[in-house]
Amino acid sequence: MAKQELIVGGGCFWCTEAVFELLKGVSDVESGYANGHVTQPTYRDICTGESGHAEVIKITYDDSIITSDTLLDIFFVVHNPTTLNQQGADRGTQYRSTILYTDEETLEVAQASLESAQKDYNDKIVTTIEPLECYYTAEAYHQDYYKYNQTQGYCLAVIPPKLAKLRAKFGREIA
């Protein structure tokens, strides 16, 4: 197994985590905060939008089963990369669409994926591709949130449509 990591932000991390946890070859999805200016931020810090962090997920995967290209293709399908600092009712820089890279290979794959995804959208994709400056794991109650809170109102409203998009376009990738 060739373990790799990919860090992306596509709005609320509860929503993106729920999608990527279903994929063959993904061994872990961790919710976290990235690229802000507050050390050891809390969810309360993030919610203000003033810490500069994005809500992100760190995907750990086996690249012999699923590639970063496929993960990014899924990323661009299950959220709206054309809305600046917003996903649905969630608004603020903490909900920005972003891909964070730690090496040149990931940067190149991210750029190619964004360019390829643009053909599927009429509006311009506003996803940022940024070097990873810092990453902090979110509090324990955010981990596997959908798995343990499927009847919570927000989860019922937002996550099932994302899962339906995933199944419709990438059913073969689901574990």
Q: Cα separation of 141 and 145, whole Å?
A: 7
Is 155 marked active-site?
no
Angle at which helices 104-118 and 68-78 cross, to 10°? 40
Q: Identify the active-site residue in 12, 15, 47, 155.
A: 12
| Cα distances (angstroms) measured from residue 107 to each of 78, 111, 163, 164 | 21, 6, 27, 29
Q: Tokens 């970063």 — which residue?
A: 68
Residue 90 pairs with which residues in a beta bridge?
A: 87
Q: Is 12 helix (H, G, I), strand (E, B) or coil?
A: coil
Q: Tokens 């860090």 — which residue?
A: 7
Which residues are annotated as catalytic?
12
